[in-house]
Amino acid sequence: MKKKFGLILSLVMVFTVLFSTGNLKVAKATDSYSYQDDGLAGKNNLNGTSSNSAKIGNTLYLPEVGWNRYDDFNSNIQYIGDGWHHLSYTSPGNVYDLSQSISYKKADEVRFSITGQKIRIIEHNQQNYSTFNVYSQKVYADGQYIGSINNLCTNISNEYEVLDFEYTFTTNAKHNISIVHDVDTLTDSNVTQGDLFTLDAIDTDGQLGKYDYQPPRMNIDSPQINTTYTGSFELRGWALNQSGIKAVQTFIDGSYSRDTTIGLSRPDVYNAYPEYKNNNSGFSTIYKVSDFTLGNHTLKVKAFGNDGTSQEQLLYLYVYANYIIVVPQGSQPTVQAVPLYRYSSSVEHMYTTNFNELGNGSGGYTLEGIEGYVFPTQQPGTVPLYRYYNGTDHLYTIDYNELGTGKYGYTIECNGNPMCYVYPPTTQQTGTTPMYRYFNGTDHFYTTTFSELGYGNSSFTYEGAKFNVLHK
């Protein structure tokens, strides 16, 4: 407590003792500083060298060759927060252009832009009264963190017009800069009165301008969480970037999948965010169930701006044999048994869990109803049911060795995956009933009603109870 009381007294003295050079005026944050808007071009390098030689920690009273210096009172600089004190002097002192801006409050911020490739931050470094080494300001460019500033000096006296931060961008372009004070000089236990944010000037190889950064935005309209999609789904949404959208890509389980179609008209998004000036922010692509293997998957959607910035969103999918459920992160869908539909044609009988495959009947097939209920994913006590086809006859078996990947003219279907999951014929699971199999030489027939064919007739031979399904 004694330490903090002393710290507060010291802060009071900041504006009377530490800046005693020249006659001091404390300006309000709302004051206009337009009379210092012009940048000063550098004419010499530090120590008279032939090329730029200033390093972090050097005192740099004037900009080096190729740099322009802008004062902290420049009207393009925006000060955010209520902890700022803007100090101006009526006679020359140790600060650049008779002014500096100081804040002690955490989250206070400075915003501006440069059009160029390089930036330097010039500050007043105060003497370090402690052994703490605190990086008290974080620097962001176009929304991305690029470094921190430590403006404590190890000398017993203050240091003025110090090069405290330098950064070179990969592109010569407009960059929106934000510097955020990351400590509170009054309340943080590991800081001292030296941990003030003391902006004196900004050097750049280009021009200083106003901050107009708009963060990248993105939204996925479809698919939606807790929604089931049979067969396929449309991945649809919109993305905005101040520099424009270069691409929207998708990644399945972290691996690149595809580029979506971009540039689709979205007047609703334009009306909501007119500052991005983009009426065609939509993107879309179609995914089929067959694009995924069974089970859990992540689908990442990543939008890239022309300036190299990006944003992403992640979808969590649970894939069944014929449909997909979008689930919240870390959750599993509630597995419901699904109908096993029975169809017949003049040639054969066919069974499927995908109603859309034949609907109410198509391609010469007639819907005969639901034969029972099965599971789309493996549940305790269940086994895979495989589906095969030889061109005229469908065969269903839980014994993978019966036909393997395909033999005797039969080809495995469902991309080699199980069509569904059923109980073995030896199960003691309540609520189940046997599925009886018959064969007439060209058609395999399955039924849960034993009395339908019994032990067979003149056409069909009884082959036994092959697996169990839930009662219909």
Residue ranges of alpha helices (H) inside 333-409 are 355-358, 400-403
This prediction's pTM: 0.54
What confidence score (pLDDT) does residue 92 get?
66
| 2-209, CATH topology level | Jelly Rolls (2.60.120)
What confidence score (pLDDT) does residue 214 get?
87
Quote the CA–CA distance of 466 and 464 in Å, as a whole number.
6
Q: Which residues of 150-225 form beta strands (DSSP E)?
A: 152-153, 159-181, 197-204, 207-209, 217-222
What confidence score (pLDDT) does residue 88 get?
85
311 close to 218: Cβ distance less than 8 angstroms: yes
- Asked if domains 2-209 and 217-327 share a fold, the reply is no
* Integer CA distances (angstroms), 12 to 104, 139, 151, in order: 11, 27, 19
Question: Would you tell me which CATH number, out of the four given (1.10.10.10, 3.40.50.620, 2.60.40.10, 3.40.250.10), belongs to the domain 217-327?
Answer: 2.60.40.10
Question: Which residue ranges make up each domain of the chain?
Answer: 2-209, 217-327, 338-470
Is the bond preceding 267 in cis, omega lying within 30 degrees of 0? no
Contacts of 343 (CB under 8 A, 6+ apart): 349, 350, 351, 352, 358, 361, 365, 366, 367, 368
What confidence score (pLDDT) does residue 19 get?
41
The number of residues in the chain equals: 472
Tens digits of pLDDT across the chain (472 residues): 434 434 433 443 444 434 444 444 443 333 333 335 678 999 999 999 999 999 998 999 999 999 999 999 999 999 999 889 998 887 666 788 888 999 888 889 999 999 999 999 998 876 544 333 445 789 999 888 999 987 654 544 557 888 999 999 998 989 999 999 887 655 555 444 446 788 999 999 999 999 998 889 999 999 998 888 888 999 999 999 988 999 999 999 999 999 999 999 999 999 999 989 999 999 999 999 889 987 789 999 999 999 888 999 999 998 876 778 888 876 666 667 899 999 999 999 999 999 999 999 999 999 999 999 999 888 878 999 999 999 999 999 999 999 999 999 999 999 999 999 999 999 888 889 999 999 999 999 999 999 999 999 889 999 999 999 988 7
